[in-house]
Amino acid sequence: MGDPRGFIKHGRRDKTLQPVHSRLQNFDEHYNYPSEEKVKTQAARCMDCGVPFCMTGCPLGNLIPEWNDLVYRGQWKQALTALHATNNFPEFTGRVCPAPCETSCVLGINEPPVTIKLHEVSIVDKGFEEGWIRPHPPTHRTGKSVAIIGGGPAGLACAQQLNRAGHNVTVVEKSDRAGGLLMYGIPHYKLWKQRVQRRIDLLVAEGIEFRYSCEVGKDVTFDEIKSSFDAVVLATGAEEPRDLPVEGRELKGIHFAMEFLPQQNRACWGDNNVAALHPRQRLVNAKGKKVIVIGGGDTGSDCIGTSMRQGATSVFNFELLEHPPAERSPNNPWPQWSRIMRVSTSVEEMHVLGGDVYYEIMTTRFIGRDKNVTGLETVKVKWENGRPEKIPGSEQIWKCDLVLLAMGFLGPRSELIKQAGCETDQRSNIVTNPKTRMSSVNGVFAAGDCRRGQSLVVWAISEGREIARCVDEYLTGNESLLPQVRLEPFDY
């Protein structure tokens, strides 16, 4: 490393958040990024540690020490090359990834870890600013064609890799824009949608075809797709939401998170007339409402932040699981992902209205009047032998007129999976060969959440790259795409 004593001389200085009241006024990205010189100083904290556990913590196996050193030396263009060597979309992961690399950082054993995400996003943003990131169409075509069903991060990464290998790639997307949860799930204030569209425009310029508003299984049969291409990749995600089938569930005002979040993202794009775009979809807005978000993960946090910006009068968050510890427990040692208490920016915003996150709490019924939800009843629980046990006498009534269910996703349950005939496991995930990543149907592969279950964006990109390598070998008999540059990572 350029400065072997950098981690001794400099403390951790990450990007900063805009003040709560300021950022609640709009849906703009809410971070302030430091100057190039300050980023270079932070890159100097990367140690010459010998065994870079940050690389094993990252599902992509990013060459983190290499591009940290290049940033420290001011060699930004070379750093961008090293970054893109393993990550197709660092402008996404640099903003929305929870950074398992940082919790695996050797410096993080007894000091605040290196600001890896800061360096990642600084490199790619500078690449766009300087015009270094341009379309690079392949110089030859193999004559082989691949259909990728699903335009989320797994499908997009797979498409770009296969296009680089010279195959003709068509992405079939059921929505009117590609990006999946990057476009319609993650709020605008965390990931500006123009950044997503910018990358998709580059893929189009490189020769990838996108077929929008086409749901395979409904608008076109799977057999029609399979018969038209040499290989098919299923990258549909795991979109079946976990429901809460308790008394009163049929009341109006109770919605899944993915009924709520896409509407605001469309509004940020300018698609204000959501009713005209999706006549069967109920309009959901938190303005002037008492909101309860059930589910304490990232999606729940996104619902909180969006509700606050829309003008909710109150927001509360319920989580069935136990309150996380402040520090690592003995059975959660470094370099594993640290299962500790983290306060998201949205929860910080919720505190302004007097809201809070309530742990070990279970919703037992919804209460309504005139077919509309007006409240819900909860009971406190205690976890015994891995199961929540209700605590008698702890029942409580909460007033609300909007409930958002953000309890995760069950799997890729769709007509497409039935038509494809692929073998699935008990969780409805598509079963694939561990080596070839092919499903039980010849020539049909699976990538991302529909194969491994609900996971991170960085895992989706990793899956897309690896499946692209397997598809390329299937089509050509050769390995023109390199395997992932990583050891077997920790599975988060």
Q: pLDDT by residue (tens digit) across 121-172? A: 999 999 999 999 999 999 999 999 999 999 999 999 999 999 999 999 999 9
Q: How many helices (H) and strands (E) does the chain have?
A: 20, 18
The Cα diameter of the chain in Å comes to 71
| pLDDT at res. 29 | 95
| pLDDT at res. 3 | 87
Give the relative orientation of helices 64-72 and 76-84 as an angle to the nearest 10 degrees. Answer: 170
- Reported as a pLDDT band with limits 50, 70 and 90, residue 304 is very high
SS3 138: coil
| pLDDT at res. 478 | 84
- The candidate with the shortest Cα–Cα distance to 153, out of 468, 448, 486, 417, is 448
Query: Are the C-beta atoms of 177 and 185 separated by less than 8 Å?
Result: no
Would you state the structure tokens that stand for residue 40, as one six-digit string?
Answer: 């270079």
- Reported as a pLDDT band with limits 50, 70 and 90, residue 273 is low
SS3 440: coil
| pLDDT at res. 69 | 96
In whole angstroms, how far apart are CA 43 and each of 3, 6, 36? Answer: 9, 8, 10
Question: Tokens 């001794």 appear where?
Answer: 8
| pLDDT at res. 279 | 45
Give the relative orientation of helices 257-269 and 193-205 as an angle to the nearest 10 degrees. Answer: 80
| pLDDT at res. 488 | 36
Q: Which of 84-93, 247-256, 460-469, 473-482 shows the lowest per-residue confidence on average (mean pLDDT)? A: 473-482
Question: In angstroms, rounded to a whole number, what is the distance separating the alpha carbons of residues 331 and 10?
Answer: 31
Residue 327, pLDDT > 70, answer: yes
Question: In angstroms, rounded to a whole number, what is the distance separating the alpha carbons of residues 463 and 154?
Answer: 6
Residue 320: CB atoms within 10 Å? 17
Percentage of the chain beyond pLDDT 70 is 96
In tens, the pLDDT along 172-227 reads 999 999 999 999 999 999 999 999 999 999 999 999 999 999 999 999 999 999 99
| pLDDT at res. 489 | 35
Residue 402, pLDDT > 80, answer: yes
Percentage of the chain beyond pLDDT 90 is 90
According to DSSP, residue 243 is labeled P
